[in-house]
Structure formats: C-alpha cells, structure tokens
Amino acid sequence: MHVLPNVFRSGALVSESYLRIGDDAGLAGDEQTAALRADVLLVPVASWGTPALLSRVPTNETAQRVGVFIQPADVDDDVLPKLLDAPVVAIDFPKFTDGRGYSVARSLRDRLGYSGELLATGDVLIDQIPLMVRCGFDAFSISHGPTVSALKSGAFKGLDHIYQAPDAGRQWQRRARSSDFAAVAGEPV
C-alpha cells in the first residue's frame, strides 16, 4: 500500500488522505486499519468491479471514497467504460515523458463522459500540469518539491493562448483565456 503525497485539487492542497492498495488485497491488520482511515482508497484497475476484491476491501462507510488506480500501459480500451461510476480515477505517469496518460484521460473525459475526479499521480511536474488540465485532469498528487512550492505559491501558470480547447467546447474556438492553470491554481477563469 502506498500513501499518495501532496494532492492538489481546485487550487489547494487537500487535507484528505489518499491510499493506494496493491494487487494483493489481503490486507494485514494494521493495513486494514490504515485503509479504514483513508479518505480516498484507490484499488487496482484489475480488481475494479470485482466483488471478491471489494468485499475484502474494508470500506469506511461514513465518507470514504473508493476509486481506481490505473497504469496507462496496462489499460485496454474495454476497461475504461467500466470506470465511469468511480468517484476517483487515478492515472499514473511512471515518467513525465510517458504521455500515454494524456490520451487515456481524454478518452475517459471526452469520449466516455467521465465526470468524477481525475487524478494524475507519479512523475507529475509543473510544466506538464497545464497540459494535464487541458486533457481533463483536475487533481494532482505531487512529490517533486519545486512543483509543490509553485502550486502552493500560485505563481505558476500555463499558456493563456491555446489553439485547441478540447476540455472546454469546440476545439477551433481559438481563444485567450485567463489561464489553463485556473482549474488547479484556483484563479478566476
């Protein structure tokens, strides 16, 4: 199991705890306790929707959200439609140069109309976050120090001029807007 570092959403560092559990869902006692306490519990995509696994995941029924964690390299197209009712889908970027997550995000958001939280995890860096926002991500778990600082200070922003607006209406409405980054940094759009 793995506690996700620094999750930013709607322009702020959230206080919720995010816990990812591995393929082996037979949780030991202290792990069960941790899983119970997590605000957001992420299960592997291979196990998503599998009653056998979910029954073994101890859910805190008060407020806990149980979502799914995916590695873009391992996701087949027929899996994505099964994720639409997940409150959180975490897409991993094993390296920031591995751009598969952008396409998976667009498939979920634009093609399948996924409306829950789309969380980028892994090698998430400040210069790529505006691109992620434009592909539909709205939450980010970040371990890179300068990126955490930049997000906290709110000083960073992406390009205001974009030739495509796939996250917001027709692509060919070229427009300048206050910032792609607004969804993260919480600036007025």
Partner 1 sequence: MYRYDEFDHGFVQERTRQFGDQVARRLSGDLSEEQFRPLRLQNGLYLQLHAYMLRVAVPYGVLSARQMRQLAFIARKWDRGFGHFTTRQNIQYNWIKLEDAPAILEALADVEMHAIQTSGNCIRNVTADPYAGVALDEIEDPRVWAEIMRQWSTVHPEFLFLPRKFKIAITGAAEDRAAVLFHDIGIRIVKGEGGQTGFAIYVGGGQGRTPYVAQEIKGFLTKDRLLSYLEAVMRVYNRHGRRDNIYKARIKILVNALGIDQFRDEVEAEWATIDAPEVDLPAEEYARIAAYFEAKPLVAAEIVDLAVTERKADDPAFSAWVRNNVLPHRVAGHAIVNISLKEPGKIPGDASADQMDIVADLAERFGHDEIRVTYQQNLVIPNVAAADLIAVYDALVNAGLATGNTELITDIISCPGLDYCNLANARAIPIAQDIALRFTDQKLVETIGPLRLNISGCINACGHHHAGNIGVLGVDKKGTEHYQITLGGSPKDDADIGKIVGPSFAAEDIGDAIQKVVSTYLDLRLNQDETFLQAYRRLGMSPFKEALYGAAPAQAGDAALGAGTSAQNAQLQEA
Q: By CB under 8 A, which span of 26-34, 43-51, 62-70, 128-136 interacts with partner 1?
A: 128-136
The answer to whether residue 65 forms part of the interface with partner 1 (CB under 8 A) is: no
Tell me the CA end-to-end span of the chain in Å, nearest whole number.
37
By rule CB under 8 A, what count of residues binds partner 1?
38
CB of 92 to partner 1, least distance (A): 14
The answer to whether residue 110 forms part of the interface with partner 1 (CB under 8 A) is: yes
149 CA to centre of own chain:
19
Residues 10-39 that bind partner 1 (CB under 8 A): none
Residue whose tokens read 């371990």: 143
- SS3 annotation, 23-54: CCCCCCHHHHHHHHHCCEEEEEHHHCCCHHHH
CB of 117 to partner 1, least distance (A): 19
Helices (H), the chain: 29-37, 51-56, 100-106, 129-134, 145-153, 182-185
CB of 12 to partner 1, least distance (A): 21
CB of 127 to partner 1, least distance (A): 6
The answer to whether residue 127 forms part of the interface with partner 1 (CB under 8 A) is: yes
